[in-house]
Structure formats: structure tokens, C-alpha cells
Structure 1
Amino acid sequence: MRTRVAGTVVLGALALSVLAVPAAQAADESRGDTKISNVVVNGGKPVVVSATGTKTITVSFTATDNSGIAWAQAILYHGTDMDHSDSGAVANTSDGRSACTKVDATTATCKATYTLTAQENLINSVAGGWKVWAIAQGKDNDYVLKENVKSFQAQRLSKLTVNAAPEPVKKGKTITVTGALTRANWDAGTYSGYTAQPVKLQFRKKDSSTYSTVKTVNTDSKGNLKTTVTASADGYYRYSFAGTSTTPAVSAAGDFIDVQ
């Protein structure tokens, strides 16, 4: 229930913020020579949030107009468009707008921070692709509005474990390698198994710094991993997950096997 209430509050804030913008509409629109460019979200990296975590990120962009920039605003949202968004975030400023710093007579760099929080504006169904809605207005009242000026990923933090046994083991005998792939469950505030995902089992010899893939194993209905290999040399086994649009890549710390 907390998630639904929080989600409603976020959407309400988005609606109020848009209504507060004089020319704001869902579709792209412009008048005159105002432009928005160089949009950067979270330093260009996906926004990864833990099961109960909060992440504050920075969104910056360049705004230009031949008369100079009067103000600008960006809103983060998840959905096909702003009118159909199911979650989002407005800037952590008193008016929800970006702080614009004058570069020269026509150009300003605009920046603001935004907060994404598990069980509030982050629930499992909104993991993946998010968008940036933005508007900038010149001092001559020219403006530009972009429905999706930039996209980025909001991802559920992943964890991966590994255990190779028995240890020590005689050369030529069977080693069983188990593990589990879990990721943040933003709805429940805990970690849940990531099911039916391909995960690479990798090995590196004791005196090497490079892992090589031995085989690919799929997680079961609880996110667990289990496979066997033949003991050949001292070294480290690990599982490595390539990641998806909703979940970042992760590799387990290597587990050492002493082969005798």
C-alpha cells in the first residue's frame, strides 16, 4: 500500500510541475531559436538502486537562445510519454526547475539533482528505460519543449555468489559449483532470485589474472545456480552475469580450489 500511495504522490507532483510550466505539453513543441543539447544523466551511467536504497543523481544540459536563457526545467519519468507516465521525479529545488548558470550571452548550463527511492518512485514494474522531459525558455519568450530529450536506465541492484566444493580435491575428480543470482525487489524491500537467466561459470588459474568461460548455466526458479566440472588445476571459480536492461552486470568474487 505504501508503494501505491507514494507512486500517486509522485505522479501528482509531476502533473503539478507540468501545469506550472507556461507552454508545457506532451508532444515536442518549439518557438523561435531556443535549443537544448548535451543532456547528461548520472554521469552517463545507469541509475542502480538497492532493495531499500535511495539514489540522488544529477541531470545537466545546455540551453541556448539568441536572447539568453530565462529558465529551464527537466522531469524524469517512466512510460510511453509524459501523459502516460507511471512514475517519475522532479528536481530537488523549491520550484522544480533546473539551476541555470550563464556561460555567455546566448548559452547557459542547467543542472539539478533528482532522488529515486525504492518503494516510493521505484517499484519493480518501472525498472528499465526512463526518459527526460525538458523545456527551456529564452528571455524573448522563445522556447523549446522535448518529450524525450534523453533516455537512461533505472536498474535493480544485483548480487551474485559462488561456492566450489569439495576443497581440497584430487585432480580428475568432480567439483560442484553452486551460487545464486539475486536482485533488488523494490516492491518488497528485499532481494529475490533472478530466474531463468544465463550466467557464465568462469575459471582462472592460480597464477593468472584472466578468467576464461567454462560454460553457461541458467538460474532456476529461485535464482540458484548449480553445475559440475572436473578438477584440473589450482585456481578460482566464479559466476559472471552480463546484465539486462533492468538489472546491472555482476560477477562473484572468485572461490579458490586447491587441486591435489
Structure 2
Amino acid sequence: MLYKVHHVSVIETDLGLWSLMRNRIASAALAGAASLAAVTVAPTVAAAATPGPVITRVSVNDLAVALTGHQQFALRISASDAQGIKSIHALIWPLAANGVRPTPALVAQSNLVTPRSRTSTSETVGFDFSDDFAKGYDADYEAGEFGIAVLVTANDGTTTYVPKAATYFIRFADALSAKANTKQVRKSAMVTVKGQLNRADWDLRKWRANGGQWVKLQYRKAGSNTWVTEGWAKTTASGALAVSARDHASGWWRFSYAGSLTCAPATSTQYWITAG
């Protein structure tokens, strides 16, 4: 169910242990999984000739959370079975929970997803969420990779359980700038591009330097759609970087950051340099 706690949007199962937008998601998930580790679940016995339902689609989007601004989160799950689908349950869990995965018993109690479409042999369920996510984050350790556990039950009682049917990232948004030391150079002359990489700090509610990150300098020749990597630089503790490269023709220059487990990818604005 979805409700507000201190203006924080929270997605939880009936057990009150699993959440998407809350500062204790990792510890809560770990506690929930551990508390059910000792629960014995009778296995589903199915005839060898009766396969379980098939999960045909799981889609979910990444989130790059800055300090302000609404974002959309959408989850879709589809499954099929010749006998029809009785139910689909899903649960979000942090992959950083030291290898502890949710059990089918825990997932079966989740009311996260709701039906969207159904046929005699298939069903699609989903969950949609829109909010100013940044207002709900007050601790940096929520960033990381999350898994979607899916449990599907067919009308004949057979089940399919996939603890990590899909994954997505909740990451700090990054801001990357680029500016060259000149707007015009001779052909084959060296050009230096400087920049700054910052990332959102949800705890301090401000942008801060993202040091120790590798960033590539890219060049796109006039008339071309292809970006070519011309050099690399590692950001300083203050987030600054500078790269020098040889400019053979007029074109656009930019910095590109691939991101990390907790920091979102970022690309700077393009900077035009005339070579002649």
C-alpha cells in the first residue's frame, strides 16, 4: 500500500517491512527476509507434464534523484499459463542486503502490484508512482541497485518464483559541466577542456563534489553524429577535471560520465571549437 510518513512516499507490503522510498529500506529489507528465513513453506508439487506459469515480461525504470523535481516510477509484469493466471505478486528489495533474498512466503503477502489487463491465459499487473522523490530521501545509503521478486500462481495451483526477475537503480543525480580554453584553434593544435562533476546529496540537501570518478572527453566532428573519445580524466576531491587533446577539425566537445552503482550517468553541454 502507499501512504505518507513525514512527507515521505512509502511503498510497503502488509508486513510493513519493505519500502521503496524510505531511509531504512536496506535494514528493513534485511530484517524482513531474516525473520522469514525460518518459515517452512510446503513446496508446490506439480506433475512433470504440467509446467508452471511463464513470466513473459518485467519492465521497470531507473531513477536519478536530484534535489527537486517530480519523477515517474513504473513497473509492469506479464505472465501466461494455459490454465490461466490466478495471481501475480511482486516485491522490491535491495540487492545490497548481504545476499538475503525475499522468500516466496513474503512475496505472496505483498499488495504492491494491481491488475492492468487479463485474458483467459495471461495477465499483466503494474505499479505506478509519481512524486518529488528527493524530498523523501534523507540518507545517502538508500542509493544502489534493487531487485524485483515475482511470484506467479496459475489457476491449476502451479507456481513460478523468480527472486530477481528484474533490477533497477536509484542513484544520486549528477551534474557535469565543460568549457574549453578557447573557441578557435589552428588545426592539429592542442585544446584543453575543463569541467566540474557534482552529485546530489540527499542528506545535506545540496550539490557536492563527486571526486575520484573517471570521466571521458568526447569529440564530434562537424557533420557527424558519432562521438569519439579523445581522453580520460579522474575528478579531483573537489570534483574538478581537465583533459587536453589535439583538435584536427571544427566540431563539438563534451564530457561524459558513465555513472556508478550509486551515481547516475551524466553528460555535459556541448562546446563548439573552430579549427582552421
Q: Quick one: distance in 2 between partners of 1:76 and 1:36? A: 20
Q: Quick one: distance in 2 between partners of 1:28 and 1:149? A: 23
Summarize the alignment of residues 1-260 of structure 1 with structure 2, pairs less than 5 Å apart.
10=10, 15-16=15-16, 31-32=44-45, 34-35=52-53, 37-42=55-60, 45-64=61-80, 68-78=84-94, 79=97, 80-81=99-100, 96-99=112-115, 101-104=117-120, 106-114=121-129, 117-120=133-136, 123-139=139-155, 143-169=159-185, 175-229=191-245, 233-259=249-275
Q: Quick one: distance in 1 between partners of 2:82 and 2:249? A: 69
Aligned partner letter, 1:81: V
Q: 1:145 to 1:28 in 2, by over 3 A?
A: farther
Aligned partner letter, 2:232: T
Q: Quick one: distance in 2 between partners of 1:40 and 1:28? A: 28
Q: Could you give the per-residue CA deviations for residues 101-134 of structure 1, whole angstroms, max 9, x where no partner exists?
A: 3221x43222222457235268432322101123
The unaligned stretches of length 5 or more in structure 2 are 19-34, 47-51, 104-108
CA contact (8 A) 1:54 1:115 kept: yes
Q: Could you give the per-residue CA deviations for residues 85-110 of structure 1, whole angstroms, max 9, x where no partner exists?
A: xxxxx99xxx5442153221x43222
> Cα offset for 1:37?
0.9
Q: Quick one: distance in 1 between partners of 2:126 and 2:188? A: 60
Q: Quick one: distance in 2 between partners of 1:83 and 1:6? A: 27
Q: Quick one: distance in 2 between partners of 1:28 and 1:245? A: 34
Aligned partner letter, 2:251: G
CA contact (8 A) 2:231 2:244 kept: no
Aligned partner letter, 2:126: K
Q: TM-score, normalised by structure 1?
A: 0.71
Q: Quick one: distance in 1 between partners of 2:116 and 2:40? A: 21
The unaligned stretches of length 5 or more in structure 1 are 19-23, 85-89
User: CA RMSD for the aligned pairs?
Assistant: 3.9
Aligned partner letter, 1:187: D
CA contact (8 A) 2:137 2:203 kept: no
CA contact (8 A) 1:10 1:121 kept: no
CA contact (8 A) 2:64 2:172 kept: yes
Percent identity of paired positions between Structure 1 and Structure 2: 21
- 2:254 is paired with a residue whose SS is strand
> Cα offset for 1:218?
0.9
CA contact (8 A) 2:57 2:77 kept: yes
Q: 1:39 to 1:173 in 2, by over 3 A?
A: closer
Q: Quick one: distance in 2 between partners of 1:115 and 1:138? A: 31
Q: 1:17 to 1:181 in 2, by over 3 A?
A: closer
- 1:118 is paired with a residue whose SS is helix
Q: Quick one: distance in 1 between partners of 2:188 and 2:161? A: 66
> Cα offset for 1:183?
2.6
Q: Quick one: distance in 1 between partners of 2:188 and 2:151? A: 65
Q: Quick one: distance in 2 between partners of 1:17 and 1:70? A: 25
> Cα offset for 1:195?
1.3
Q: Could you give the per-residue CA deviations for residues 120-165 of structure 1, whole angstroms, max 9, x where no partner exists?
A: 2684323221011233344565555443332222232222210012
Q: 1:17 to 1:100 in 2, by over 3 A?
A: farther
Aligned partner letter, 1:165: N
